[in-house]
Chain A
Amino acid sequence: MGQILAAATLAATPLLLAALGGLLNRRGGIVNIALEGKMLLGAILAVVVSAETGSWVAGLAAATVGSAFAGLLFSLAITRAGANEIIAGLGFNILVAGLIGYALDDEGTYQPAGVATIPRIDIPGIDAIPVLGDVLSDKDPITYLAWLAVPATAWFLASTRAGLRLRAAGAPGDSAYALGLRALAIRDASTVAAGAFAGLAGGQLALGLVGLFNQGMVAGRGFIALAAFYFGRARPWPTAGACAIFALFDAIQIRLQQEGFSTQLVSTLPYLVVVVVLTITAIQTQRREAPA
């Protein structure tokens, strides 16, 4: 049991980071379908730079900055060139996967020498506690960072100027613009932030456990992160909760398989959940707008 929880907590980190990034983007008014591609980009950048420099910090920094930059290009295509965000997102995912696959020359896995992985932190005392100890202790710093990011994001949205203006820019209509806010620039910033978060998530995925890059390693996590923030209605705490649940499913899938539940079916649950949430939201909206 403790093992499962520990595994789940670790698995949640990249999901959580990417989901928070997607959440910020969503609040700014853009549905970011390209989290998957940005995570992939982050993963490879992290591995390459970490091997070159021997520093996992440098690797993660490269992942974050690189994906943020990609996010900027992606955003400009949407806000300035009027690209449809969904199609551009799908295209971006394919493009990034293609570029990386091309660069790897069909190797599939890239494991250079000297990749520095992220160290774990053991919290003495806590790790002795059953269950909770498995969850809290022996995690990498990025995981702890991700946890902190949840209240930080919530605070950001509610209590800072930038957060307030982000929420205003993301609302439908031109009110933000009419009030003199630079809505497009704010939206771009939120997409860049999403890129940065997703890049960090990908970097953590690569460097946190395995220390290598594999073309299939993101495995749809970008879309599950999307599912998570849809489920959480773009609010930090419910989104974090969704990530925890999805990560738990991920961790217990071997166990489930032994019990007879199929992994494939379980893997569809996050997506079904999104559809259900969308339906419920729509029903509520309809009920609210129905004539008296």
Chain B
Amino acid sequence: MAAADVPAVRPGAPPGSALAGALRSVGMSLLPVAAAFVVGAVVLAVTGWDPISVYRVMAREAFGSTARVESTLAAATPLLFAGLATAIAFRGGVFNIGVDGCFVLGGLAAAWLGAALTGLPGWLLIPVCVLAGMITGAVWSAPPAFLRVRLGVDEVVSTLMLNFVAIGLASWIVNTLLLAQGTANSASSPVAPQAELPGLGGDVTLGLVIALVGVVFYGVWTRWSASGYELRMTGLNPAFAQTAGISVPRVVFQAMLWSGLVAGAGGAAHALGVVHRFVDGFSPGYGFTGIAIALLARNGAVGIVLASILFGALASAGATVQLFSDIPLDIVDVLQGTIMVFAAVQVVDLRRRIRRQAA
């Protein structure tokens, strides 16, 4: 952080510190990624693989052809939602790590309605299901939000715990209430055909468009709207925000709800577009990847897109690379875990600042 009493510079001088700051910021985002690839390279080398050629193959599998790019984008779609949902909360200084739970429950709600309301036409059914997902996600994030704002309960542990509750709850529901007829495994009935999100080529669905629209809107909103401004200031310096007349509790509460809402929408898009139903194991940790994305992107819209594509590429390439070589898919987890640990090193511990200053 810049020193407090740097001597004044004449107005009109080139804004050196602004550019340097931006470069430093980008550099700090790339460091965890670089570190992850180094660690991955070590792991590969130790087990007898040539890291460079492996990475080259992965890059080809991720972006090498139109079909591969589509596969990457399809894999990136749920991540965009998860990353955006997490970033909204982080931007407001709230460490919401319950995105996974909201995603799952949102998907469940959408899958249920999608299978139940077969009479509705597609153009109506899809928005209804997505809306249901959004509402479910928002409702699920309301209790920890309330606990944080009214009682000062640490949102990290509460949202983490509720993740597991959500997964267990959804698992029970899909195994009892919504269990598809005649299936032995835990899956709900498939959604009505008109509820399936239209595809855009390959595995890419309309969900990608929805997600991108969401991210773009988020970018515009945080930069250009008064409420986005209030969110940013609350996350950066709650004491200052309060003095400026911003209602910190209200901003925090709303940030949590929006976070849950977006996660729920992501779950709905995933249920309607990809899985076409709800199953046990609906989210293979999308929420946690979302955290890594938000950290790398430093909660910025452009970064969210880039990081989501990165992780989508890893997931998609990892899956296909596994098919014709012997490299286990787990290398992706190794990369992701390393990114999270390294990204964590740079995150200023906003929680402590918030606790010290907030009312």
Contact = CB atoms under 8 A, between A and B. Distances in A.
Contacts of A101: 328-330, 333
Contacts of B333: 94-95, 97-98, 101-102
B218 to A, nearest CB: 21
Nearest to A37: B337
Contacts of A283: 151
B353 to A, nearest CB: 12
Interface residues of B, number: 52
Nearest to B338: A95
B330 A282 contact: no
Given A81-B345, A83-B345, A98 B332 contact: yes
Interface string A92-108: 11111111111111100
Interface residues of A, number: 46
Contacts of B351: 84
Interface string B319-344: 00010001011111111111111011
Contact of B169 (A88, A100, A265): A265
Given A274-B161, A278-B153, A91 B292 contact: yes
A100 B329 CA distance: 11
Contacts of B161: 227, 271-272, 274-275
A86 B340 CA distance: 10
Interface of B is mostly: helix
A106 B341 contact: no
B169 A268 contact: yes
B160 interface: yes
Contacts of B329: 101, 106
B31 to A, nearest CB: 12
Interface of A is mostly: helix
A283 to B, nearest CB: 6
A109 interface: no
A82 interface: yes
A84 B349 contact: yes
A93 B163 CA distance: 16
Nearest to B335: A98
B168 A282 contact: no
Interface in A248-283: 262, 264-265, 267-268, 271-272, 274-275, 278-279, 282-283
B23 interface: no
Interface in B293-342: 295, 322, 326, 328-341
Given A82-B345, A87-B347, A272-B161, 7 more contacts: A81-B345, A90-B340, A94-B337, A98-B333, A98-B336, A99-B43, A282-B147
Top 9 A-B residue pairs of the complex, sorted by shortest distance between their CB atoms: A95-B337, A98-B333, A91-B340, A101-B330, A94-B337, A268-B168, A87-B344, A282-B151, A98-B334
9 contacts: A83-B341, A93-B337, A94-B285, A95-B337, A98-B332, A101-B330, A220-B164, A262-B176, A268-B165
